[in-house]
Amino acid sequence: MRLARGLFVIVWGVSAAVAAAAPESTHDHAGKSSAAESPNLLTLATEELLVPPGESVQCSYLEVTDRELRVYSAVSHQGPSGHHMALFYLDRPRPPGHEPCPMEKMIPGLQLVTASVGHETMHLPAGMAQRIPPGKQLVLQSHHLNHSGQTLRVTDTFDLHLLRPEDVRISVGVMTMSDQTFTIPPHARYTRTTTCDLPVDLRVVQLSGHMHELGTRYMLEVVNRRTGQMQGTLDDEAWSPSYTYSAPYRRFSEAEAIHLPAGTRLKQTCVWDNTTDAPIRFPQEMCVATLQYFPASDFRICRVANGRGRITEALPPADR
């Protein structure tokens, strides 16, 4: 497959160096699949990007896939200013190339495959994979925080480890719970709690929270919808500024997957300490949970308003 701009390379056979570069985690419960289980490596790359001083987000539009892709593991590579990368796909392709794409003004129709903070990203149990249907345009989102005071030239890459469709036993979906409506007062410690009710059963095999440098604690809990009493804790992190670039992940094997029945209420709590002279809002700071789950393979977003979330944006049945 050729790209007019950007790079799209398929390597048949994973080298030892590539296998060794697979993501690690202090919360990894599932272990790793061997190279023999996934002989396919697909490397995506941006064009050379000009990264100005400060914060910037750019989207690189690659060409349209000509076959179904089943992704079981992914890892990103960015320069010193890199904060995160995300892989999406689009139903309605745009011309190949790249452009600014602020996170608060994301283009409609983007479907998330995986996101990577500090290189580490999705790694699913053996026989599980996320599906990218054929005929979709792949989109790389590159987020940079450039503190050098100079414009940098970078090329970001994303390695996708693939299974052959016939080797996939279980299709995995991804869900995000994103709070974009908070305001953190200046010189204040601020706590934000939001909830989201799940419309379907989920069996979670990977989850992570995400905040930035001002975060001090992140929690994701299960609560009783009627009484509000806590029923379990999915994640509880004393947040470190270093997690902005390398967030902790929790991973589970198929047998250990966390069962969240339909109707479960998730409670997300983010605590910040704003030491600046100005109020802080999204996307300067974030409060986001990402969950990979089975058996569904659709992408769901829990958008939060006034402390309560509502599930939106599910893929059409033809793409599941």
Q: How many helices (H) and strands (E) does the chain have?
A: 1, 26
Instruction: For residue range 221-273, list pLDDT tens digits in order.
Output: 998 887 778 889 999 999 998 888 777 889 999 999 999 998 899 999 999 99
Residues of the chain with CATH 2.60.120.230: 174-313
In order along its 320 residues, the chain shows pLDDT tens digits of: 333 344 444 333 222 222 222 333 333 333 333 333 335 899 999 999 999 999 899 999 998 999 999 999 998 888 888 888 889 999 889 999 999 988 766 666 778 888 776 555 788 999 999 999 999 999 999 999 898 999 999 999 999 999 999 999 999 988 889 888 899 999 999 999 999 988 888 999 999 999 999 999 999 999 888 777 888 999 999 999 888 877 788 999 999 999 999 889 999 999 999 999 999 998 889 999 999 999 865 667 786 665 565 555 444 434 43
The pair of three-digit structure tokens given for residue 113, joined into one six-digit string: 């495959």
Which residues make up the CATH 2.60.120.310 domain(s) of the chain?
Answer: 7-170
Distance CA 128, CA 294 (A): 9
Distance of alpha carbon 131 from alpha carbon 71, whole angstroms? 7
Residue 6 to residue 8: CA distance in whole angstroms? 7
CB atoms closer than 10 angstroms to residue 94:
12
Q: Of 221, 220, 192, 145, whose CA–CA distance to 286 is shortest?
A: 192
- The pLDDT, as a whole number, for residue 40 is 87
- CB within 8 Å of 173: residues ≥ 6 apart: 130, 292, 293, 294, 296, 297, 298, 299, 300
- Pair 163, 74: CB distance under 8 Å: no
Query: 54: which 2 tokens?
Result: 């400060």
CB 314 within 8 A of CB 299: yes
**What six digits make up the tokens of 162?**
């693939």
Query: Is 2.60.120.230 the CATH classification of the domain at 174-313?
Result: yes
**Cβ atoms of 96 and 61 closer than 8 Å:** yes
- Cα 74 to Cα 317: distance, rounded to the nearest angstrom: 25
274-to-124, 183, 192, 213, 304 alpha-carbon distances in Å: 36, 10, 13, 9, 22
Domain 7-170 grouped into CATH 2.60.120.310: yes
Distance, in Å, from the CA atom of 36 to the CA atom of 313, rounded to the nearest integer, reads 35
CB of 44 within 8 A of CB of 6?
yes
